[in-house]
Amino acid sequence: MKNIIIASTSTLHGGEYLEYLLPELSKHFKNCKTILFVPYARPSGISHEEYTAKAALAFAKINLAVKGIHEFADPISAIENAEGIFTGGGNTFVLVNELYKNNIATALSQAVKKGTPYLGTSAGSVICGLTMQTTNDMPIIYPPSFQTLGLIPFNINAHYLDPDTQSKHMGETRETRIKEFHAFNSFPVLGLREGSWLDVKGTKIRLKGSLSARLFRQNQIAEEIESETELSYIK
């Protein structure tokens, strides 16, 4: 049975890395001693080692060890034997490229579908959807495919921002960009605001956190989804 947390962000304004999620993570990974960390997204271009150390510092607060997937000679075996898995945020293009480069996208999807507890934040959450096409990141590298893990039957837009009616900025809003996506693609997109996450248990998907999310469907008016709503109907 799938057991997944899909979080918009790792860090809330003014908080420490993963701090707001730690009470949830202590339950989510209750049967684990060590978490396999996928640091491929490299936020701000930091190294795999630096990123893994950052994750390890956070998980130590709930008495869990962390080991980076880059430390294993056989990453597929590492995934298959992992007690729990965390994919951190950063650049989604870099992350997806590395998943394909290391030939682990299928192994990762299969492990999570079989029940290995999984946490994704930001880019690590975007890859839970059908494709990475609704990421906010710059395409700094070209992955072999935009197809991702398909753990949920829709796409994620992490860090979703509402239009600021007081701003003089004339660039595209997130809503505009998602409408552009829907000019060529039919599947739904869920905009996850900061501090929100999806709790996936088997076929059940529930919105968690204090904020609503915004659901976009092709050729339909976007709708607000309240926290604690069960989202398995979205397809």
Residue of 8, 10, 109, 137 marked catalytic: 137
Mean pLDDT on 80-85: 98
pLDDT tier at 17 (50, 70, 90 boundaries)?
very high
Catalytic-residue membership of 122: yes
Query: CB of 216 within 8 A of CB of 228?
Result: no
Q: How long a stretch of residues is the chain? A: 235
pLDDT at 163: 78
- What's the order of all strands across the beta sheet hosting 118-121? 65-68, 34-38, 84-87, 118-121, 3-7, 197-201, 204-208
Rounded distance between C-alpha atoms, residue 209 and residue 6, angstroms: 12
Catalytic-residue membership of 137: yes
Per domain, the residue ranges of the chain are 3-164+184-225
User: Could you tell me whether strands 65-68 and 223-225 are parallel, antiparallel, or unpaired per DSSP bridges?
Assistant: unpaired
User: Could you tell me whether strands 3-7 and 34-38 are parallel, antiparallel, or unpaired per DSSP bridges?
Assistant: unpaired
Mean pLDDT on 108-117: 98
Catalytic-residue membership of 186: no
Q: Is the pLDDT of residue 171 over 70?
A: no
- Give the rounded percent of residues in the chain with a pLDDT score beyond 70: 98
Amino acid at 124: G
Q: Is the pLDDT of residue 49 over 90?
A: yes
Neighbour count for residue 115 (Cβ, 10 Å): 12
* Homologous superfamily (CATH) for 3-164+184-225: Class I glutamine amidotransferase (GATase) domain (3.40.50.880)
pLDDT at 172: 80
